[in-house]
Structure 1
Amino acid sequence: MSADRKPAGSVWTRPRPRQREHLTREQIVAAAIELLDAEGVEALSMRKLGTHLDAAATSLYRHVANKDELIELVVDDVYGELDLPVVTGRTEWRAAVTRTATELRAMALRHPWIAPQLGQVGLVHIGPNALRMSLGLLAQFEEAGFPAGERDQAVGTLTAYVIGIATAEAAYLSLIARSGRTEREWVAGLRPAFDEASREHPELREGTSAQQDVDPRQIRDDDFRYGLDRVLDGLAARLDA
């Protein structure tokens, strides 16, 4: 990448270029998401994206300076999938936060490449959809009664849990997808090896035996909700204190 193509600041802080060709930023972002969902971040390149769009790479550089800026745009576009509930009373805050956290996890699992992008330390997402989500969560915690000095920390605690879980799940599901098997088939294939390894550790087998016939997806959903409830229990206790 030549030095003159490096961005000054963020793609969101520069004026949007005038439209001179049929290719639009929205088309670029939509095509990039298609490639990312199919092949992941490592496989995405400006050249491959140009081929996918049947356009020269130079056309793409009129809209984004490099791949990093493209990722900024696609991450924000995916944030736009979230529908944040509006809290109108303190008694509703927990249900609203639960729904937001559940939607954030679902979004990350629909787009497995995005979870590591959301979890990068020091990376601040300032696109309009990301800001809308942050403001929505802050409003939910404000309505709950958290003081101004703690709202950011409460939001950070919640999102750290969701992104952490979603990152691990996305990696697990991507591994299964590459195997060509379903999640049920994958888990069933691992069970004989696990049973053999845990033969002398009945405490390990007790929990898994009870869940042997349960849909693995349901187990993941239940585990996520259990952890989320415990996080919210802790935040609720802080409110009571």
Structure 2
Amino acid sequence: MAAEGATGTAGGRRGTLDRRTVLTEALRMIDADGVESLTMRRLGRALGRDPMRLYRFAASKDELLDDVVELVLAELEVPSPAAASDWEAVLRRCAHSFRELALAHPHTVPLLVTRPLSTPLGLRPQGTLRPLEAILDLLIGAGFDPKGALHGYRLFMGFLQGHVLNEVQEQVADPDETDDLLRLGLHRLPSKEFPRIRALAHELATFDGRAELDEGLDIVLAGLVQQLRATT
């Protein structure tokens, strides 16, 4: 969409306002204070513009959130494999790239997982569909039939989205506390009602997201390899 013209102010002329500037500021606000902090009024104030002018770039807050998801996913790359046999390595790199995005923008993770599901495929921002297209192309090129490639994509992304949701929602009550029960606030749980969770205090406190991701990928990719072998 075309940029909005510069507007005179007491301090001089402001720069042009374009879609990327609006979305970048919206993402900054979400990163700082969460999705609930984003309103057209607050966004307009942050940009020094009448909020009504922002509707040139997004017709509603829902559309604005979809566009923020597209902006974040634009940073995710699914590289082309050097050979068809490299598809597993490519998916591993893609998974780690997605995790890094999630850790860089933790407040957007619920959006990355849920916003695409609220809109039919063909009506979503095209940028949100590029990972789907790229992974389908990768898997079909590796020898999966189209239906199997779609199944592989769903399995891969379902695991990946669940993993990052769990990782970014891990909360530490007292980072300076050395006792794992106290550090996670698990001492507040009645021991008779939650014995299993309390017993896992150390494992919960020492969660290694990167290692857990790789362990899960081992299982997911092993299943896809078996599926591919069954069809060839």
- Range of TM-score over shorter length: 0.7 to 0.9
Aligned residue among 20, 24, 27 for 1:26: 20
Identity level (%): 27
> How far does the alpha carbon of each residue in 1:76-121 deviate from its partner, in whole angstroms, 9 at most, with x for none?
1111111222113222110001111121122122212222223223
What secondary structure, in the 3-state scheme, does the structure 2 residue paired with 1:119 have?
helix
> How far does the alpha carbon of each residue in 1:132-159 deviate from its partner, in whole angstroms, 9 at most, with x for none?
3222211221222110122112111111
- 1:79 alignment partner AA: L
Q: 1: distance between equivalents of 2:78 and 2:223?
A: 22
| Partner residue in 1 for 2:12 | none
| Partner residue in 1 for 2:9 | none
Aligned residue among 58, 62, 67 for 2:52: 58
The within-5 A match list for 1:221-232 is 221-232=210-221
- The CA deviation at 1:50 is 0.9
Aligned residue among 134, 137, 140 for 2:135: 137
**Structure 2: gaps of 5 or more residues:** 7-15
Aligned residue among 161, 165, 171 for 2:159: 161
CA 1:237 to 1:186, structure 2 compared with 1: closer, same or farther past 3 Å? farther
**Structure 1: gaps of 5 or more residues:** 1-15
CA 1:36 to 1:223, structure 2 compared with 1: closer, same or farther past 3 Å? same
Aligned residue among 169, 172, 194 for 1:171: 169
The within-5 A match list for 1:28-107 is 28-107=22-101
Aligned residue among 182, 189, 192 for 2:183: 189
- The CA deviation at 1:165 is 1.3
| Partner residue in 2 for 1:216 | 206
Q: 2: distance between equivalents of 1:102 and 1:234?
A: 19
- The CA deviation at 1:126 is 3.6
- 1:216 alignment partner AA: T
CA 1:119 to 1:185, structure 2 compared with 1: closer, same or farther past 3 Å? farther
| Partner residue in 2 for 1:237 | 226
Query: Using CA pairs below 8 Å that are at least 6 residues apart, which structure has the higher relative contact order?
Result: 1
Q: 2: distance between equivalents of 1:146 and 1:240?
A: 9
Structure 1 runs of 4+ off > 6 angstroms? Answer: 183-186
- The CA deviation at 1:208 is 6.5
Between stretches 121-130 and 30-39, larger displacement belongs to 121-130
| Contact residue 175 and residue 183 of structure 2 kept, 8 A | no
What's the TM-score, normalizing by structure 2? 0.78
> How far does the alpha carbon of each residue in 1:163-217 deviate from its partner, in whole angstroms, 9 at most, with x for none?
1111122222xx44xx5x54986956238849x949xx79x85x776x69xx835
| Contact residue 50 and residue 57 of structure 1 kept, 8 A | yes
| Contact residue 17 and residue 62 of structure 1 kept, 8 A | no
- 2:89 alignment partner AA: A
- 2:214 alignment partner AA: R
Q: 1: distance between equivalents of 2:178 and 2:39?
A: 33
| Contact residue 2 and residue 18 of structure 2 kept, 8 A | no
- 2:149 alignment partner AA: R
What's the TM-score, normalizing by structure 1? 0.76
| Contact residue 17 and residue 63 of structure 1 kept, 8 A | no
> How far does the alpha carbon of each residue in 1:34-75 deviate from its partner, in whole angstroms, 9 at most, with x for none?
000011111211111111112110121121111111111111
| Contact residue 176 and residue 183 of structure 2 kept, 8 A | no
Q: Root-mean-square deviation (CA), in Å?
A: 3.2
